Amino acid sequence: MNTVEECSFRMGWPILNDRFYIGLELYSGSYLFFQRYLLRSVVIIFLLSGSNFPTCFGRFSEYKDVNKNYFQINQHVLNIQNKTTHLLINEAIKDISERKIKEPNNKIYDYLESYTWFFTLFILEQEDQYVKALSKKKKLLQNIQSGDKNSPYYLFCQAEILLQWATIHLKFNDKTKAAYDVYEAYQLLSENKKISRFPGE
């Protein structure tokens, strides 16, 4: 498994190769050309931004100012991420709620909450949950945008949420929203690559 594949796995994304697309087609039935094109766009943006990614949250970050909203990766964050990727969603949600009380200014938990929505909607495919979650997506992005603009996680987390939701929009055949989120995520990742670096880079 190469670096990109390992990062994709640990971040909860599928290994991006031909078997992935074949699996999607077997699972979802016939894929229209536009859907395949848009999904590949998500993949391409994800890969192109690779040099700008933290090492899959493998290191603790020090981007913290207790007097304002911040982004910090700590052991609690890693534990929640691990539970989410192992589909222990209810446990992850419970932990996120607890950590938001104890670390109310750490906006990384809003990113993790979006992560749980991503897996829930993608797996359960419930239309009513999708409609309900649309307002949650907006709120989580707003919470991220209230964080420290000087942190490399500021734009990164926004872009990651948008890429997650682009996939969900495709899942529910909402191509316009998916295309918009892909474009916006690309802009954010491109900007982040110019202006910021992650710890250890």
Domain limits of the chain?
Answer: 3-195
Instruction: Name the more confident of 98 and 33.
Output: 98
Amino acid at position 117, single letter: W
Give tens-digit pLDDT for 55-66.
Answer: 445 455 555 555
Is pLDDT above 70 for 181?
yes
Whole-angstrom CA distances from 194 to 49, 55, 145, 152 are 11, 18, 19, 10
Predicted TM-score of the model (pTM): 0.68
Largest CA distance in the chain: 52
Give tens-digit pLDDT for 85-121.
Answer: 888 999 999 999 999 999 999 999 999 999 899 888 8
Give 190's contacts (C-beta < 8 A, 6+ positions apart): 49
